[in-house]
Structure 1
């Protein structure tokens, strides 16, 4: 992608975070196109987020995040009015996710982990929020980001944390695909 527009006006704080996150996680060159002598502390904070920068600069060169769910349609197909909202990709330290709220109001954003081609079924994942710089527990099969601001973003790093806990039900991540050893449906 082209030059970053942070600090040039026209973007809310949440839009600026979304803009920077998309550029960084898509492994675009981070060309800053603003007057650095007049930069605000908020914009400087966005541009110097070490965890986001680490993904842009990690050794998995050229491996950009890519959409795994398009638009806001119920069947997640492309919608020219709303771009993809759910992205993931590999990094040297785990799987990166970007959840982009394209709506004009806050929204809960949820997905099944195995929708991402970088996630293995039957595993649980530790969750690191790259904007709040917090470890947010362990995700098993699903993840929900609550009240993502309008035009806002959530950036996550998920790391494999071992097998799913014993007794997780149903016994497989995609209920419609559950089958016992003899091939009969479990669901």
Structure 2
């Protein structure tokens, strides 16, 4: 088990909505996952422009390995609905040069295949998104994508190709 599953609510007065959350087998599968190691951990705070910790707003972008793929959790800490996007290279469990099938664990729907980035549109204020990303093969070669998914900007932009070669953008 990644973590103990604790429920601290009076079960006799549990609403149907809360009962449905507690019975979500796809989310329970994350909790009961057999992959040994860290659980779902922050990979970006997101609220601050420099993406660092903020005591008033908890981390918004979380990820972790599972036996079924990579779990991504997004938490909107704002008082308004917001689009929440991330680049696959930000999570240590997603690989550059791969595309990923996206499953929404709250709605139990498949959200297609994404390349390099994913945007959860209109995440409600103080709401969350729970996703499972599974490898869907190499990026399409004819998609007109830049040679790198993310450039580093330390004076001059650069990135590292899949073969380890340093690339300067055109």
Q: Normalising by structure 2, what TM-score?
A: 0.88
* Residue 170 of structure 2 corresponds to residue 170 of structure 1: no
Q: Which residue of 1 aligns with 2:48?
A: 73
CA displacement at 1:149 relative to structure 2: 0.6
Paired residues of 2:158 and 2:167 also in contact (CA < 8 A): no
Q: Normalising by structure 1, what TM-score?
A: 0.80
SS class of match (2:111): strand
- Larger strand percent: 2
The separation in 2 between residues aligned to 1:32 and 1:57, in whole angstroms, is 15
Q: Which residue of 1 aligns with 2:154?
A: none
The separation in 2 between residues aligned to 1:186 and 1:41, in whole angstroms, is 53
- Larger helix percent: 1
Q: Alignment partner for residue 125 of structure 1, among 78, 100, 105?
A: 100
Which 5+ residue runs of structure 1 have no aligned equivalent?
1-23
The runs of at least 4 consecutive aligned structure 1 residues that moved more than 3 Å come to 178-184
Q: Alignment partner for residue 147 of structure 1, among 115, 122, 131?
A: 122
CA displacement at 1:185 relative to structure 2: 2.3
The separation in 1 between residues aligned to 2:46 and 2:166, in whole angstroms, is 35
Report how many residues are paired.
162
User: Are residues 140 and 34 of structure 1, via their aligned partners in 2, closer, same or farther at CA, if it must alter by over 3 Å?
Assistant: same
User: Are residues 105 and 120 of structure 1, via their aligned partners in 2, closer, same or farther at CA, if it must alter by over 3 Å?
Assistant: same
CA displacement at 1:63 relative to structure 2: 2.7
* Deviates most, 173-182 or 74-83: 173-182
Q: Which residue of 2 aligns with 1:60?
A: 35
Q: Which residue of 2 aligns with 1:46?
A: 21
Q: Give the alignment's Cα RMSD to 1 decimal.
A: 2.1
Paired residues of 2:64 and 2:72 also in contact (CA < 8 A): yes
Which 5+ residue runs of structure 2 have no aligned equivalent?
152-156
